[in-house]
Amino acid sequence: MSKKTIFHTFQEIDYKACWDYQEELFNQILTEKRQDKTDIINHLIFCQHPHVYTLGKSGSEDNMLINYIQLQAKKASFYKINRGGDITYHGPGQLVGYPILNLTAFNLGIKEYIYNLEESIILSLQHYNIQSTRLDGATGVWLDIHNPKKTRKICAIGVRTSHWVSMHGFAFNINTDLDYFNYINPCGFTDKTVTSLEKELGKKLDFDEVSEIVKSNLQKVFNFEFINYES
């Protein structure tokens, strides 16, 4: 089966527009799987979104700490979506990655798939001499898990799969405005904080440079065969 993957990149794209695009690619792969095609093309989307909060299907609206009028004042939108996980924030300066993959071709179950996403971010952080890891009972990439008072998340992960096809993905805080996380209980947690590469290093990063490092590590971990680029 094919690991051929088209890489799509958007400087900034409306959340709903990108969600619709994901669904289109996702349904295309599902259809081709039902037809027993063997050369199915996979997709990886990199983008940034305008300020938006998304609530996973297992999440609670109680974790949204501001009302609709306050949301508008923050120039943010809100969507209930069909991924796993609770509430999270997306916005400028955050690298959002959406792999739409035929997981059968990569010989991956759901747990292994999420593990690989986390591993790609962990390797990317090592490039900046930041040690990160996983946290038992939670997805994503975390810092200082052995010090509960300092434990903080730098990358959130929430996915949807059906018939071993994936969509949604990860949100890696690079130069993200962390104030927007103050209006939610991120991923449902009330006792843990959120951080960014900028906050950890004390300086703004070249967003495109970090994106290339993440893309390279995703390719290394998943063994993607990129066949062309779209923008």
Catalytic residues: 187
Question: Which two structure tokens, joined as six digits, stand for 96?
Answer: 């959002």
- 90 touches 49 (CB < 8 A): yes
8 Å CB contact between 95 and 172 = yes
Contact 197, 154 (CB under 8 A): yes
The amino acid at 132 = S
Which residues lie across from 6 on neighbouring strands? Answer: 43, 228
At a CB cut-off of 8 Å and minimum separation 6, what does 180 contact?
51, 74, 76, 89, 91
How many Å separate Cα 40 from the centre of its chain?
23
